[in-house]
């Protein structure tokens, strides 16, 4: 027994020596600097040094909780960045921006892990409509972030400048370089000249600090989070194809997981079903439940169809429910409404079933708008005048949203 104890002690000592980070951490810091095109002398940056000396501030449960938030995403996103030849340290840019919370938002209406504002999201084709917000899709948003960062790198020539531009904008960085007469990081971050906003001056330092801490074996061991060091070996998620309008409940039940767990992998979905305007759609599922999904999910089941209805003046939930052959309580639950009160232009998701017969419904049909449709294109499709179509739908403009239900009056 004594020999076993001594042997275990020696193994533990050897393991601890192997995991000692004095030299390893230093090399990792140099690698991070190199990946960001930063000089080694940046390790002597006084503010960065003070942040390291005050590392206990960062060794908090909140910081480690943030790593756990991204645990299901990090391995795949890291692989995507490596394959795109983008420094994986940029994951800590996402960490700085959103704490890996895909539902994170800002006063500038930025959203998602990478905090895309509406204009940039549109530029990189991250759709945000009544059914999805692809800024919150971990894969699609990372694809967009990679494209954006590579464009910024092509513009400025250095990764640290790309990171700064991501934070405060290309124009601000360009003006700072012009004013400073150089793109040297030590000059740009000058605390007295203030070429860049204070938040941006701390930005690079925060990213490097997070990289340092999350790769520090000592920090992880000290906080009982050593499993995060091996997160690349953990099961993450896979993408599977389903029909548009498929219920998330049906998908979750096929794998014996909760709806909350499934939603955690699919933060881009705004409702408990996939976008009904598409014939084919997709969801992300836990990798270790893929076999269960393949074996149990009923691919022959036709999903419920939905449409987007824009409330008009004088509308009520009862009236809309009657029109679509459903119950007002169903509309309340489906749309997460707090009451039955409706304001004009309120967007409602409505189930498409067999509508109750009525004189008005017998005289009209309903068309579900698709991406790229307009009232003008719909009027031509059904060979009716644009003015007639606009009046039938109480509209003044020819613009429509994908999924919106458009009444087609009988001629």
pLDDT tens, residue by residue, 241-273: 999 999 999 999 999 999 999 999 999 999 889
Q: How many other β-carbons are positioned within 10 Å of the β-carbon of residue 222?
A: 11
Q: In the chain, what are the helix, strand and coil shares in percent, each to the nearest 5?
A: 55, 10, 35
Burial of 297 by CB count in 10 Å (0-12 exposed, 13-18 middle, 19+ buried)? Answer: middle
Cβ neighbors of 3 (< 8 A, separation 6 or more) are none
- Three-state secondary structure call for residue 122: helix
Question: Across-strand partners of 238?
Answer: 285
Degrees to nearest 5, angle at CA 38 with 218 and 24: 25
| Whether 311 contacts 343, CB under 8 Å | yes
* pLDDT band at 224; cut points 50, 70, 90: very low
- Nearest Cα to Cα of residue 142 among 184, 193, 190, 79: 79
Taking the CA atoms of 283, 286, 291 and 296 in sequence, report the sign of the dihedral they define. negative
Residue pair 403/411 in contact (Cβ under 8 Å)? The answer is no
Averaged pLDDT score across all residues of the chain:
81
> What is the per-residue pLDDT across 347-402, written as a single tens digit (0 to 9) for each?
888 888 644 444 343 345 778 787 778 888 888 888 888 888 888 887 877 788 87
Please give the domain boundaries of the chain with CATH numbers for all domains.
2-232 (1.10.530.10), 235-296 (3.10.350.10), 305-409 (3.10.350.10)
**Lowest mean pLDDT, pick from 20-29, 376-385, 398-407:** 20-29
Q: In the predicted model, is pLDDT for residue 51 greater than 50?
A: yes
The H-assigned helical ranges of 86-235 are 91-98, 118-123, 138-156, 159-168, 170-180, 185-188, 198-214, 217-222
Residues 6+ apart with CB under 8 A from 91: 70, 74, 77, 78, 81
Instruction: Residue 294: name the closest of 343, 345, 240, 330 by CA.
Output: 240
> Taking a C-beta distance cutoff of 8 angstroms, is the pair 214, 226 a contact?
no
């Amino acid at each position: 027994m004594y020999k076993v104890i001594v042997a275990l002690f020696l193994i533990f000592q050897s393991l601890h020596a192997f995991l000692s980070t004095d030299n390893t951490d230093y090399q990792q810091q140099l690698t991070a600097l190199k990946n960001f095109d930063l000089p080694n002398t940046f390790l002597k940056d006084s503010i960065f040094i003070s942040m390291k000396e005050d590392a206990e501030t960062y060794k908090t449960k909140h910081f480690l909780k943030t790593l756990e938030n991204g645990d299901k995403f990090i391995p795949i996103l890291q692989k995507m960045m490596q394959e795109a030849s983008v420094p994986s340290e940029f994951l800590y840019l996402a960490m700085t921006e959103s704490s890996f919370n895909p539902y994170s938002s800002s006063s500038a209406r930025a959203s998602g892990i990478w905090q895309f504002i509406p204009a940039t999201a549109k530029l990189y084709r991250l759709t945000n409509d009544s059914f999805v917000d692809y800024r919150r899709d971990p894969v699609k948003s990372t694809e967009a972030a990679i494209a954006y960062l590579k464009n910024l790198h092509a513009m400025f020539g250095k990764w640290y400048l790309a990171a700064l531009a991501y934070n405060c904008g290309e124009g601000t960085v360009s003006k700072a370089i012009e004013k400073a007469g150089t793109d040297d990081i030590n000059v740009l971050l000058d605390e007295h000249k203030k070429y860049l906003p204070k938040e941006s001056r701390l930005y690079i330092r925060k990213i490097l600090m997070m990289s340092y801490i999350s790769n520090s074996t000592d920090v992880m061991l000290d906080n009982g989070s050593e499993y995060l060091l091996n997160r690349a070996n953990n099961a993450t998620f896979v993408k599977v194809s389903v029909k548009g309008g498929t219920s998330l409940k049906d998908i979750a039940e096929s794998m014996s997981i909760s709806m909350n767990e499934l939603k955690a992998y699919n933060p881009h979905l705004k409702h408990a079903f996939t976008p009904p305007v598409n014939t084919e759609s997709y969801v992300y599922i836990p990798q270790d439940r893929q076999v269960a999904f393949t074996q149990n999910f009923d691919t022959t089941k036709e999903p419920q169809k939905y449409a987007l209805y824009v409330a008009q003046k004088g509308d009520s939930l009862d009236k809309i429910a009657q029109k679509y052959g459903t119950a007002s309580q169903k509309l309340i639950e489906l749309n997460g409404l707090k009451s039955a009160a409706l304001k004009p232009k309120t967007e409602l998701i409505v189930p498409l079933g067999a509508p109750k017969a009525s004189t008005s419904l017998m005289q009209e049909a309903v068309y579900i708008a698709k991406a790229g449709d307009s009232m003008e294109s719909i009027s031509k499709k059904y060979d009716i005048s644009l003015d007639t179509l606009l009046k039938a739908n109480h509209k003044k403009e020819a613009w429509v949203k994908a999924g919106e239900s458009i009444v087609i009056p009988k001629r």
